Amino acid sequence: MNNRFDLLIAGAGLVGAAAAVLLAQNPRGRNLKIALLEARPFSGLPPAGSFDPRVVAVTEATRQLLEKTGAWKAIVGQRYCPYTRMSVRDGEGTGLIEFDCADVHQSNLGHIVENSIALKALLDVVDRLDNIEMRCPARIVGVEGFDNGNVDLDQVNRGGTGARAAADRSPVQIRLASGEYLETDLLVAADGAGSQIRTMAGFRLRSWEYRHRAIVTTIRTAMPHGYTARQWFMASGPLAFLPLREVDGDCHQISIVWSQEEAEARRLMTLNEDAFCRELTRASEFALGEVESVAERFSIPLVQRHAVDYVLPGIALVGDAAHSIHPLAGQGVNLGIQDIAVLVEEVCRGLGRGLSPGDISCLRRYQRRRKPENLAMMAAMEAFKGLFSQKLPAIRILRNEGMSRVNRLLPLKNLMIRRAMGL
């Protein structure tokens, strides 16, 4: 087996799989030999009658990219839910901002798609492309090929730190748990917020814990959601109701993300189903009547991370490997998709000039284009979170008055909508 690849992508989640497909389908990338590596086999679609607790709020920009890959058609053939309105409320006051797709002459504001359905659609496209070699399970335990040594995951797990090279040198070598070595001109790290590639290659990272946990699950409400996404912002953390839809059109199912301080999250997780439903009904202000049932709950620690640099010679971080943000805006996957759209564009532009996929000048252009956008989104989320965590009465009054004024300014609201949709 030939172990030399033009481009290797670590992580076959939504961002990694989409990166492989976009590269393989690009006219300048069709001759590339691409490997897509994933440590864990795909877990499959949720059982009949249940929903995946992980969902993606797909913006119009992301939908267009998925349509370009051919995956969107398969998603539409499975299960998805468009939302036409969004309601953002101050959970401790009267502030309210409402968005409507009709105001920007669109048929919807976005789509809620289960993670597993979107991933299966992309992996099916991967299977149909001859220039992508999918390897799973394939666990990377070492990244080598640098002048100043290498970082080995086995060493890291024993407490070592390793080093990274400053020089531009290719190919990059990776070592798999099986002992096999692979070589590549460009290693794309799409292996998530806890990226092993980022650690092994020695990327510097800034991170801080929110001391919050996100409770994620699926609920059924007495009233249908009306294709409306709802968010409540409280001092203890935001609550999001994301609409789901059964294949038969039933619209009583909701995916929730409820961010709470750690002690409160632990308390909520210990409640039985009926008690949890009562708490959630009160927190959502009876917006959809009683919460009638809840599926299995998951509690996820919230940590914000941002790599100081996204690229090194022959290596690029994308998605959560480069940046992970608070889930209150549901923008994590969308930011990752925009990362790979720009990376593919810059790599293919370089290929057109006869450059290697791992050429550092191309990778730096990717970083220059994406880093400011991601930092701006992270700063906005921090400001929003900080604003709603304020408990002073004067701040609450000003906050509610500000939201009410924004709600009356249609041009400003339309600008916010189009920005959120990626248009």
Q: What is the pLDDT of residues 81-121, one digit of tens each?
A: 999 999 988 866 677 888 999 988 899 999 999 999 999 99
The per-residue pLDDT for 262 is 93
All residue ranges of the chain with pLDDT < 50 are: 1, 146-168
Q: At which residue do the structure tokens 């995916």 appear?
A: 255
Cα separation, 136 vs 124, whole angstroms: 14
The per-residue pLDDT for 91 is 65
The per-residue pLDDT for 417 is 75
Which option is the CATH number for 4-43+120-207+305-385: 3.90.340.10, 3.40.1280.10, 1.25.40.10, 3.50.50.60?
Answer: 3.50.50.60
Q: Which residues of 144-159 are buried (b: 16+ CB within 10 A; e: fewer)?
A: ebbeeebbbbeebeee
* Per-residue tokens: 118: 């979107």
* CATH 3.30.9.10 is held by the domain 55-113+210-302: yes
The per-residue pLDDT for 367 is 97
The per-residue pLDDT for 160 is 40
Cα separation, 216 vs 300, whole angstroms: 8
Cα separation, 423 vs 253, whole angstroms: 28
* Per-residue tokens: 380: 């906005």
The per-residue pLDDT for 388 is 58
The per-residue pLDDT for 414 is 75
Phi and psi dihedrals of 227, rounded to 5? 55, 40
Query: Using an 8 Å Cβ cutoff, are 10 and 139 in contact?
Result: no
Cα separation, 123 vs 110, whole angstroms: 22
**Range(s) within the chain of domains with CATH label 3.50.50.60:** 4-43+120-207+305-385
**CA distance readout (Å), 138 to 12, 72, 128, 134, 343:** 11, 27, 20, 9, 24
pTM, to two decimals = 0.88
**Range(s) within the chain of domains with CATH label 3.30.9.10:** 55-113+210-302
The per-residue pLDDT for 172 is 94
The per-residue pLDDT for 384 is 61
Helix/strand/coil for 141? strand
Which residues touch 188 (CB under 8 Å, ≥6 apart)? 7, 8, 9, 10, 16, 19, 315, 316, 318, 340, 343
Helix/strand/coil for 369? helix
The per-residue pLDDT for 396 is 63
* Per-residue tokens: 220: 């059924």
The per-residue pLDDT for 328 is 62
**CA distance readout (Å), 305 to 10, 96, 205, 420:** 19, 30, 7, 21
